[in-house]
Structure 1
Amino acid sequence: MYLYDEIDRRIVKERAEQFRDQTRRFLAGELSEEEFRPLRLMNGLYIQRHAPMLRIAIPYGHLSSRQLRKLAHIARTYDRGYGHFTTRQNIQFNWPALEQVPDILDELAEVDMHAIQTSGNCVRNTTTDAFAGVAADELIDPRPYCEIIRQWSTLHPEFAFLPRKFKIAVSGSTEDRAATWVHDIGLHVVRDEGGEVGFKVIVGGGLGRTPMVGEVIRPFLPTRHLLTYLDAVLRVYNRFGRRDNKYKARIKILVKAMTAEGFAAKVEDEWQHLKDGPSTLRDEDVAHFASFFVDPPYETLPAFSETLAARLAEDRVFARWVERNTRLHRHPGYRSVVLSLKKTGVPPGDITAEQMEHAADWADRFGFGELRVAHEQNLILPDVREDDLYTVWQLAREQGFATPNIGLLTDIICCPGGDFCSLANAKSIPVAQAIQERFDNLDHLYDLGEIDCNMSGCMNACGHHHIGNIGILGVDKNGEEWYQITLGGSQGNHTAIGKVIGPSFAQAQIPDVFEKIMQVYLEQRQASEPFIDTVRRIGLDPFKERVYAKHH
């Protein structure tokens, strides 16, 4: 895990001090609402429906047990005892008092955390695969490059006021678990024929009002050119991106207007002024950052755990949890455990202070003091010995962390929606809850198999509804909350944007609509065909017919 040095600490501390003074001036009436707005946004502070919301950066989803305990303390001291993990691997607190936010930032600085650039028109938190460094299918560990990008982008003076917010995701595995195709820039760490490490560069992806899958503008970029090339991309965007219409200000609109080839050509022109310049990465620079991400002291364990095999054979409930909520590890005898934050009746992604403390304890006891936040809004213990899985499962059950639904229909990705967010057109949490309640029967859920369900309370698509196999979007119809359904979206290596199936539904209808969609799937699927494959094979019409059929 990356460890701060003196310079990192000073930047974070000074930033917290500046914001304390800015907040004091605002509360004293010396700064207007308009003047304070960009200042608070640069420190992750939004004014929401009921209270301010503070978004805290968790760089590429990495947390130490010490940091998680601090987040628990903040939740208890300055909030209502819980936090909310987002699809950007960050955490949000929904109820802090404005005058106490400087105190929170001071507390965060004590454990090398901050809220810098978690909002505003700048480069946001860089994300990656939550299993980076431990995934069995990893080609190259992407984390050193995420850290390089984080340091380059933090307080970068040239990119502090871009046309719109800017998001970068990096993947180093054969399976893309970082949704790189729907980011402003997606980077795949790859090797060329000669074994040299570099990046496939994807630009212009994004969700929101006009969802688009990104375009490859450079199939192979040598590592040393990473920052100069990113500089070139952002400069082109900064110059040509639209500032007259915030709905058309994202880079995806520019790439579409220029075409991928036209945009790539502009980047090449710009890059000629930067290539081999001072930001070129030397081998020792990469080695320096890679040195923070070396393996912890793993034990040499047998590839087959007899203890685990015996437990799996005798306890079906445990076996189910292992199947759904653990992942294979690069090192024999270890697994990564996903602690589900999708228990029925709890808003997806919410975590209590008490749960945070327990998870931090388990990270110390069963791992190496480290946790990950997944883009799917769950928490991960990356390094658990297989012999410890049964104990971890029992502890997780006690804390409401063991719902064995990872990757299934009730593992819903969901934004806070109209319950909290002032931008939302509709509530999302009660709808997610209604779906979870309807499909609470685990046997039924397992029979349905892998289904990604994503939900957003408005067009901003914070819940990534476009790339859910089933997507739900809250819309406003004459002051009432309605919900639009999309089918056929997916993330990963075959990213696709879902299609709207027809007119929207009232909130109370959604569980029935889901039931009908599942009926069609169960009738039409072949052998063990996953839901998304059935949708792609038979198209949307059979689903539409069932869902909109008139009752006689």
Structure 2
Amino acid sequence: MYQYTDFDRRFVHARAAQYRDQLERHLAGTLGTDEFRALRLQNGWYIQRHAPMLRVAVPYGELSTRQLRQLARIARDYDVVQDGPFKGQGGYGHFTTRQNLQYNWIPLDRSAEVMELLAEVDMHGIQTSGNCIRNITSDAFVGIAPDEIVDARPYCEILRQWSTLHPEFAHLPRKFKIAVSGAAEDRAAIGWHDIGLQLKKNAAGEVGFQVFVGGGMGRTPIPGVEINAFVPWQQILVYIEAIVRCYNLAGRRDNLYKARIKILVKAEGQKFFDAVNAEFARILADDTGGHEHIIPQAELDRVAACFVDPVAVVPTAEPTLDTSDPAFARWLQRNVHGHRVAGYRAVTLSLKRVGIPPGDTSADVMDTAAALADQFSHGELRVTHRQNLVLSWVKAADLPELFQAARAAGFATPNAGLLTDQIACPGGDYCALANARSLPLAAEIAERYQDQDELEDLGEIDLHISGCINSCGHHHSGHIGILGVDKDGTEWYQLTLGGGDGTQLAGGTVAGKVIGPSFAADEIADAIDAVIDTFKRERLAGEHFIDAVKRLGLDPFKTAANAVRVSTAKA
């Protein structure tokens, strides 16, 4: 993991002290609500439906057990409602699809204390909100995946440091998200980001980036498009600066819904590409205005030195494991993943449990996960795009012992990638922007599909749920996507099929298509059942759900789902 320098620590502690001063002035009435709003957002503090919400950055998904225990402490001591109608709520964190952690119940007058606690363990909420470059995300298996071309972590870290409080990009037309992948398989969903970066090597073995721009979900889901096939790694900050500068100058500020870079790219096309490449060339040619952003080899080496294997990790012979226990065998197949180091595995700790919203993790569960990581993963975990945790350095010989410990702690649900490994945003239960609740629907689906044999028979299905068009649950990229909509103050849900997050199984970055009118809250789970039943009836031997949707088209699924609406109306 990246190790903070003295400068890094002074920086986050100074930021926490600055926030404390701003908060105290606001609470004293000398700093107005509008002025304070911009300042709190820059540090990750929102005002949600019932209470403040804090978003904590977990850059490219890496967490130490020291950090996770501090997050548990904050959940236990600060995220609990002491009085009022919500007394007793809280005590947990929510892992998001962008590798962050959110708290939903921390009182604003205690928020400065939380920022100081985060700084103690080299964490913060800087730029997890606002119209700026947000948390840099990557593949949850970055640095350990067997299909990795280049370890993306050093580049992610350099990007994080460069973009943090960048004065030119602090007030962009809209929020801006960057994802980086260094593997053959895109597990970072780079095509759904404002900028997506794919690390590559050219014929000479030199490292560079394939650059995609203009991806995004929301009201207008648009996959990113390639703007440059190969930017040398030394020049990537300059190229990103050229993109963001052109967006900053030409992006719309008169319409919130048309302010994202995807709208600019769609409207201008090659004109925008030409402007970016001209700005890139201009910066490179300007001896006084750009070469400070050429990444020196020494700086890459300095940062990369933080991302070495733990000392005790050495290649070992593959063990022969006793798989006579069906539960252990199923867990091995579903939640245990390959590793670039012989004799090692990455292991998904599933956070998907009946009765617990996707991504929600109590303080006690965080502490337990930290203990497992200390025992089995050299004190390191990863936060995944699918709202789970991953142990990244597990010795294959230790898998039987880890399975028993994970099962006892409730982490061993063997559903990684299956229907109940669903993604969901907090929705209308917490978010002031949401049109409908996500969590009760996620719970109902989880309860309906608890038969592990049935889940395995259905195979890999990505189910994503968003409570509003902002798409925090990434419904557009789900094989099955559910979007909450409002109709005269009541909750309804649109159903989409055929989306893809960039993986080979999904067929790339694809926006799902809506199948008919929306469903009432008491119809949508039955509509999902109808879609699943249609797949079971029409599939070919060994066919994945997403492939059946592509082969059959939407009509059979639409007909089945609409029949639910008709039967409900008759009833």
2:496 counterpart SS class: strand
Which is worse superposed, 210-219 or 381-390? 381-390
Cα distance per residue 1:364-415 (max 9 Å; x no partner): 1112111100011101100111121122122222222111111000101100
- Cα separation, 2, equivalents of 1:545 and 1:473: 19
The letter of the residue matching 2:44 is: G
Matching of residues 190-229 of structure 1 within 5 Å:
190-229=200-239
Asked if 1:69 is matched to 2:69, the reply is yes
CA contact (8 A) 1:372 1:381 kept: yes
Classify the secondary structure of the residue corresponding to 1:46.
strand
Q: 2:487 aligns with which of 477, 484, 490?
A: 477
Q: Find 2:476's aligned residue among 459, 466, 487.
A: 466
Secondary structure in 1 matching 2:196: strand
Letter in 2 for 1:448: L
Shift of 1:298: 4.5
2:331 aligns with 321
Contact persistence 1:318–1:390 (CA under 8 A): yes
* Equivalent position SS for 1:384: strand
Deviation at 1:297, TM superposition (A): 2.5
2:127 aligned partner: 117
Q: d(CA) in 2 for partners of 1:244 and 1:97? A: 34
Match of 1:160 in 2: 170
Cα pair distance change 1:300/1:268, threshold 3 Å: closer
The one of 423, 431, 434 equivalent to 1:413 is: 423
1:369 equivalent to 2:379? Answer: yes
CA distance in 1, matches of 2:162, 2:137: 14
1:283 pairs with 297, 307, 312, which one? 297
Q: CA deviation at 1:323?
A: 0.9
Aligned residue number for residue 86 of structure 2: none
Number of the residue aligned with 2:85 = none
User: Equivalent residue of 2:526, what SS?
Assistant: helix
Q: SS at 1:72's partner residue?
A: helix
Q: Does 1:541 align with 2:555?
A: yes
Give the match for residue 272 of structure 1. Answer: 281
Map 1:350-389 onto structure 2 (within 5 A): 350-389=360-399
Q: 1:304 corresponds to which residue?
A: 318
Q: Cα deviation per residue 1:213-259 (whole Å; 9 max; x = unaligned)?
A: 00000000001101111110010000000000110000000000111
- How much has 1:133 moved relative to structure 2? 0.7
Identify which of 461, 473, 487 aligns with 2:497: 487
Task: Write the distance in 1 (CA, Å) between the matches of 2:535 and 2:554.
Answer: 11
Give the superposition deviation at 1:73: 0.5
Q: 1:296 offset after TM fit, Å?
A: 1.5
Amino acid at match of 1:436: A
Q: What residue number does 2:10 align with?
A: 10
Structure 1 distance, partners of 2:403, 2:75, is 25
Q: Is the 1:465–1:473 contact (alpha carbons within 8 Å) kept by the matching residues of 2? A: yes
Quote how far apart the aligned CAs of 1:273 are.
Answer: 2.4
Distance across 1 between alignment mates of 2:182 and 2:312: 21
In structure 2, distance between residues paired with 1:303 and 1:222: 37
The one of 355, 358, 361 aligned to 1:348: 358
2:312, 2:212 → 1: CA distance? 35
Would the aligned equivalents of 1:129 and 1:170 in 2 still touch at CA under 8 Å?
A: yes
Post-superposition Cα deviations, 1:487-541, rounded to whole Å, max 9, x if no partner, equal 0001124111000001111122122111111111111111101000000011000
Q: 1:547 corresponds to which letter in structure 2?
A: A
Which residue in 1 is equivalent to 2:114?
Answer: 104
2:151 aligns with 141
* RMSD, aligned CA: 1.1
Cα distance in structure 1, aligned partners of 2:247 and 2:439: 35
Give the superposition deviation at 1:446: 0.7
State the AA in 2 paired with 1:485: L
Give the C-alpha shift of residue 101 in structure 1: 0.5
1:57 and 2:67 aligned: no
Pairing partner for 1:262 from 257, 265, 271? 271
Q: Greater CA deviation, 457-466 or 383-392?
A: 383-392
Q: Deviations over 1:185-232 (max 9, x none)?
A: 000000111111000000000001111000000000001101111110
Amino acid at match of 1:511: A
Comparing 419-428 and 294-303, the one that deviates more:
294-303
Q: How far apart in 1 are the matches of 2:541 and 2:312?
A: 40
- In the TM superposition, 1:21-40 aligns within 5 A as 21-40=21-40
* Residue of structure 2 in register with 1:522 after alignment: 536
2:515 alignment partner in structure 1: 501
Measured at CA, do residues 539 and 482 of structure 1 come closer, stay the same or move farther in structure 2, by a change above 3 Å?
A: same
1:474-496 Cα offsets, whole Å, 9 max, x none, are 00011000010000001124111
Specify which of 128, 133, 139 is matched with residue 129 of structure 1: 139
**Aligned equivalents of 2:116 and 2:356: distance in 1?**
30
Secondary structure of 1:272's aligned partner: helix
Amino acid at match of 2:395: R
Relative to the length of structure 1, the TM-score reads: 0.98
AA paired with 1:3?
Q
Question: Given the alignment, which residue of 513, 526, 543 partners 1:512?
Answer: 526
* Equivalent-residue separation in structure 2 for 1:492 and 1:211 (angstroms): 14
Other-structure match for 2:105: 95
Q: Which amino acid aligns with 1:526?
A: L
Question: 1:72, 1:352 within 8 Å by CA — same for their partners in 2?
Answer: yes
- Give per-residue Cα distances to partners, 1:450-485, cap 9 Å, x unaligned: 000001000000000000000000000110000100
2:403 & 2:364 partners in 1: Cα distance? 17
Task: Name the aligned partner's letter for residue 253 of structure 1.
Answer: I
Determine the C-alpha separation between the residues in 2 that align with 1:224 and 1:543.
49
Secondary structure, counterpart of 1:293 in structure 2 = coil
Summarize deviations over 1:327-349 as a string: whole Å, max 9, x none: 01111111111011111211000
Output the CA distance in 1 between the equivalents of 2:386 and 2:315: 30
Q: Distance in 2 between matches of 1:467 and 1:149?
A: 26
Question: Percentage identity across aligned positions?
Answer: 58
2:401 maps to 391
Show structure 1 runs of 5+ residues with no match.
none
On the 8 A contact 1:169/1:185 being kept in 2, the answer is: yes
Distance 1:61 1:5 in 2: 20
State the TM-score, normalized to the length of structure 2: 0.94
Unaligned runs of 5+ in 2: 80-89, 285-289
Note the C-alpha offset of 1:302: 4.3
CA deviation after TM superposition for structure 1 residue 547, in Å: 1.3
Are the equivalent residues in 2 in contact too, given 1:435–1:510 (CA < 8 A)?
A: no
**1:170 matched residue in structure 2:** 180
Q: Deviations over 1:402-445 (max 9, x none)?
A: 11111000101100000010000000000001111111111111
SS in 2 for 1:173: coil
